[in-house]
Each structure stands twice: as C-alpha cells, then as structure tokens.
Amino acid sequence: MKFGTKAIHGGLEPDTATGAIMTPIYQTSTYVQDGIGNHKGYEYSRSQNPTRHALEKNLAAIENGKHGACFGSGLAAIDCIIKMLNPGDEVISTNDLYGGSYRIFKTIFEKYGIKFNFVSMYDTIAIKANVNSNTKLIWVETPTNPMMNIVDIEAISKITKTNNIMLAVDNTFATPYLQNPLDLGADIVMHSATKYLGGHSDIVMGALICNDDKIAKEIYRIQNSSGAVCGPQDSFLVLRGIKTLHLRVQRHCENGEAIAHFLAEQPMVDKVYWPGFESHPNHEVAKKQMRGFGGMISFNLKGNNLEDALRIVKKVKIFALAESLGGVESLIGHPATMTHASIPKEEREKSGVVESLIRLSVGVEDVTDLIDDLKQALN
C-alpha cells in the first residue's frame, strides 16, 4: 500500500456500530462491563480509548511500525522514553535540538542520575567516542531544530545494534511522508503530532511508534501509569489531519525549495540552512534517507545583528510571528529568544543558534505571496 493510501486508510475501519467512515469521537471516561473482566476491550479511557486507539494504529501504519502510542504533547512522549532508563544510565544526544528536549533532559531527568552527552552527529566519530557500558539511548533529531543538520540514521543504527543501545529518532520535521526511521534501523520514532501530523495548529499531542514488542509493552505501561494521554477530540483532529498529510507536505516542500533559493540570493542574508542545497552538510545523506527536503528553513543575517532579526520577524505580514511549526499557515520565529531560549547562550551559539538566526515554517499558501512578504521585510 502506497503512502497516500495508508494515510487515509492505514489501520482504520468504518465504525462497527454505525458504519461511520470517520472514526467517532468516543467522549467517555469509562465503559460498562458485562461482568468483572468481561468487556469489549475498553475499561477506562486513560488506559484505552477507541478514538485514540484508531489514531495509534494509523500512526503505526504510516511509519511502517507495529505499535503506536499517543500522549498529551511531544514532550510527554519524550518523557515516556526517558522513563524507560534508570539512574546511572547515559544518553547521547545531538547537540542541536529543540529547546524543550534540552530542557527536559537537563532540568528534569539529570537530577535523577541520568547523564546526557550532547555531541555533533555530523558523522559517527563523536558518537563512538562517547559510547560506554552505561550508554542506553542515542537521541537523534534529523533534520535538527533549528539548524537543519542531517544525521545518518542507518549509520548510527549500526553502532546501537553492536552495543545493545536503543535508538530513538525525533521525526517531527521530516514527517513519515519524507522519512521512516524504523526502516533505517531506529527502535523508536517520536513525533510532536502538534506539528505536521495535525497540520492545522489546533491541537497539542505527541506520539511514539515502534516495532519491538518488548519496547511497546514498556511504552504502554508508562503511558498508562503516568497518564499523560491525549483526549479523543484531539485524536480525531489528528486522524483528520493525517488524511491530507501527503498533499500538504508535498506543497510545504515545493514552497520551501522556492523560498530557500530566494533567501540565498538576498544581499543581507549570510547563510541559509536547508537540506536541499548541495552545499548543505550531509546533503547526500538527506537524499538517501529522505524523499524530499521539507518546508523548514533557517537563515542568519550578515553582521549577526539582533535588532535586524527582530525587525524582520515583526515586519512580515503573511508569515505569523509564533512558536510551533508544521501548520498550513507560514510561521516565522527567532530561536534564540523563543523556541531555544531555555538553552544557555554559550551552548546555543556552539551549534549555530546565533542572535540573528531566523527560523521559517513555510506553509502552503501561494509561494509568490510568501516571497513578496519576505522581500518587503528584508528590504
């Protein structure tokens, strides 16, 4: 089954009670049982809910996985993964990652005795140098947020399999339409479903997908025990969003390519970070493991002037100044003061998140209008 068909039908069936083609919103907290332990597969909606269950099956299908689990946010999904570890365990993470991921690693879990090592994952040298007997997880973003660095998932999976280490990949930027980490050797795929999966900036949700039965059992245990689940209304909205994921992401890619080339020609722009450029680090890896280069772009300004960056993000008219990404509308943001403000300045700037860096989430509007908007703001 091809992706466009899986997005619409994967893991889903018409409602058995009514034949409804759209999964109903089961807005209920509990379920009547015929007798103790004699029920229809659902007991309590923290543990199981038919709407959420349908979404979890659909997500597994589009990521080529067996098991899916949904959470109240992307960070709640990350929280579940780290709770699979024990005090004394170590994690190797990419040094360029979403500020919220950095914050939960450093301010929540580090005090419980889990050590996090942040390294460049441009190649495997730094990763191999940090692997030891305590290493239990390698955490990957690719493309990274916000520098769009590309990490070779298959190359890292060889390290994890050799050393019995779990590999988790944040696939939020790429989406299952462009990249399938499980096929490349990852053990777990994480999504902030808030972004492209929902696609309409109207929900907050996270998801985990895997193939391994043992890992899935542990994920479901933590999901139920910690209770950070999403509600049926949000589950319904993400199911709706996924049905057009392939159409939307294709347009995001087309618009992103046009805007990346436009920015590269602007005199006040210093560097444009977009994996589709042949000059982009690991461009060949991106070509190998992705089916397109996405609609996320970052760029910085000549002179690295903070005031110039703040002026531009305020001057745009179609691009909305806001956190988040992946919706149908185009967004603009300033990572150093918004999405990555929780990372110390010295650490931010080591990975390229400088004062003038601007991040774009290119939407699906008419691309000529988007270019005209950026042109007037840059001028």
| 7-61 confidence digits (pLDDT tens) | 999 999 999 889 999 999 999 999 999 888 788 889 999 999 999 999 999 999 9
Among residues 6, 52, 83, 195, the one annotated as catalytic is 195
Regarding whether 249 and 236 lie in a shared domain, the answer is: no
Among residues 26, 98, 102, 177, the one annotated as catalytic is 98
- Tell me the residue range of the domain where 26 lies: 3-242
Q: What's 323's domain CATH number?
A: 3.90.1150.10
pLDDT of residue 342: 86
pTM: 0.96
Regarding whether 98 and 64 lie in a shared domain, the answer is: yes
> 319-328, pLDDT tens digit by residue?
999 999 999 9
Regarding whether 255 and 224 lie in a shared domain, the answer is: no
Regarding whether 260 and 188 lie in a shared domain, the answer is: no
Regarding whether 249 and 146 lie in a shared domain, the answer is: no
Cβ contacts of 196 within 8 Å, gap of 6 or more: 172, 175, 245, 248, 249, 252, 325, 326
Regarding whether 306 and 229 lie in a shared domain, the answer is: no
Regarding whether 199 and 299 lie in a shared domain, the answer is: no
Regarding whether 98 and 27 lie in a shared domain, the answer is: yes
**Single residue among 242, 267, 301 that ends a domain in this structure:** 242
**Single residue among 224, 242, 260 that ends a domain in this structure:** 242
Among residues 15, 42, 46, 66, the one annotated as catalytic is 46
Regarding whether 213 and 321 lie in a shared domain, the answer is: no
Residues 66/60, Cβ–Cβ less than 8 Å: yes
Among residues 170, 187, 234, 308, the one annotated as catalytic is 170
Q: Map the chain to HEC letters.
A: CCHHHHHHHCCCCCCCCCCCCCCCCCCCCECCCCECCECCCCCECCCCCHHHHHHHHHHHHHCCCCEEEEECCHHHHHHHHHCCCCCCCEEEEECCCCHHHHHHHHHHHHHHCCEEEEECCCCCHHHHHHCCCCEEEEEEECCCCCCCCCCCHHHHHHHHHHHCCEEEEECCCCHHHHCCHHHHCCCEEEEECCCCCCCCCCCCCEEEEECCHHHHHHHHHHHHHHCCCCCHHHHHHHHHHHCCHHHHHHHHHHHHHHHHHHHHCCCCEEEEECCCCCCCCCHHHHHHHCCCCCCEEEEEECCCCHHHHHHHHHHCCCCEECCCCCCCCCEEECCCCCCCCCCCHHHHHHCCCCCCCEEEECCCCCHHHHHHHHHHHHC
**Single residue among 242, 261, 282 that ends a domain in this structure:** 242
pLDDT of residue 17: 87
Q: What is the mean pLDDT of each run of 10 residues along the chain (379 residues)?
A: 96 92 96 86 93 98 98 98 98 95 97 97 95 98 97 98 98 98 98 98 98 98 98 98 98 98 98 98 98 98 96 98 97 94 88 95 98 97
Is 158 annotated in the active site? Answer: no
Q: How far is CA 234 from CA 22, 52, 54, 200, in A?
A: 14, 9, 12, 12
Q: What's 105's domain CATH number?
A: 3.40.640.10
What span, in angstroms and rounded, lies between the C-alpha atoms of 95 and 173?
A: 16
Is 46 annotated in the active site? Answer: yes
What span, in angstroms and rounded, lies between the C-alpha atoms of 321 and 114?
A: 36
Regarding whether 330 and 212 lie in a shared domain, the answer is: no
Domain count, the chain: 2
Is 214 annotated in the active site? Answer: no
What span, in angstroms and rounded, lies between the C-alpha atoms of 188 and 190?
A: 7
pLDDT of residue 41: 85
Is 195 annotated in the active site? Answer: yes
Regarding whether 264 and 189 lie in a shared domain, the answer is: no
Regarding whether 224 and 89 lie in a shared domain, the answer is: yes
